[in-house]
Structure 1
Amino acid sequence: MKLVILDRDGVINEDSPNHVRSAAEWQPIPGSIEAIARLCQGGYRVFIATNQSGLGQKLFDYDAFSAINDRLQGLLAEAGGRIDGIFFAPDHPQQPGPQRKPAPGMSLELAKRLGVSLDGVPSVGDSWRDLEAARAAGARPILVRTGNGRETERRYAEALGDTAIYDTLADFTVALLSGNLPPQRPQTA
């Protein structure tokens, strides 16, 4: 089974320091919808693992969160793609649980439900916590420069090691589908 795990805010859609609180505020990053559709058409199952602390902080409710996800799925359906599952951590940042990134809980739950190993599975994010969660789950961390990605790249340049970095989700998708991801060295403790 070919899988890809994506963070949402800053990877698929424009992020906001005030949280994306409604479907009306949710704006896809140019090329991201088409990139996910291409992944699906290329035989990949695409999942989202996203921290959604706005829920825990009561900045928006589950109905608003569902409406955002419905908008995403609707745009993907029009483009010939879909998200196979959305894993989210509603934890307040001051009270993180085992699901909230940088903990690997969401990815480990995904692996458990599918009965698969995440070894080598690309996990695309724009923040250091996304990359840490991917590593902790045994997945392959991929950084995109959208959202917080440029700041993450600047701030953690030395610690990124052989983490593959792409300008956008669309650029990552082209590399993956063409077999041009750089080789990954074994992780060291």
Structure 2
Amino acid sequence: MENYKSIKTIKLLALLFVLGLTIASCSNDDDDHDHDHEEELITTVTYQLSSGMDIVTLEFQDIDGDGSAAPTYTVSGPLTANTIYTGSIELLNETESPAEDITEEVEDEGDEHEFFITSSISDIIVTKTDSDEDGNPIGIESTLVTGDPGSGTLTIILKHEPTKPNDGTSADAGGSTDVEVTFNIAVQ
């Protein structure tokens, strides 16, 4: 009789274990992010900087995506020294017709994205002016302040699934890089 009770106890424990695994595997974790997101094709990155009548546009285009045509980098002109610019980034997939606006997706999924804009010119300071639903920066909108004249580069990086908050650098943010482009710029 005692042997029968121990077999019954073992069967009951095994059943509870299997039931526990089944419930755990079917749970819906609202904090689970889509880590297997399908990366959007970004063929065009435009960073428009405006300070009144002074408008400078930086644009990267790789119309054929991963095709054989070389990408193009254009900068419409120099930045003005000691000036405050309002900046806005636009991302497009121009392999679609009409072009797909990827910026909207980045904004809608702001908690899963962040732009990092840096310059090799030490007098340039960029501040992100938009934020996600948790109050963390996204960087679609920004303010860029120039200092003394000089020349160098300006790099724009879009991270997917970055650590938020972070120290403001793409290295600290981690995540994966959706796009990274570097422009040659001048401040006059």
Give 1 or 2: higher helix fraction: 1
Q: Same-fold call, TM > 0.5?
A: no
Query: Could you state the TM-score of these two structures normalised by the residue count of structure 2?
Result: 0.26
**More relative contact order, 1 or 2 (CA 8 Å, 6+ apart):** 1
Query: Could you state the TM-score of these two structures normalised by the residue count of structure 1?
Result: 0.26
Determine which structure has more spread, i.e. the larger CA radius of gyration. Answer: 2
Give 1 or 2: higher strand fraction: 2
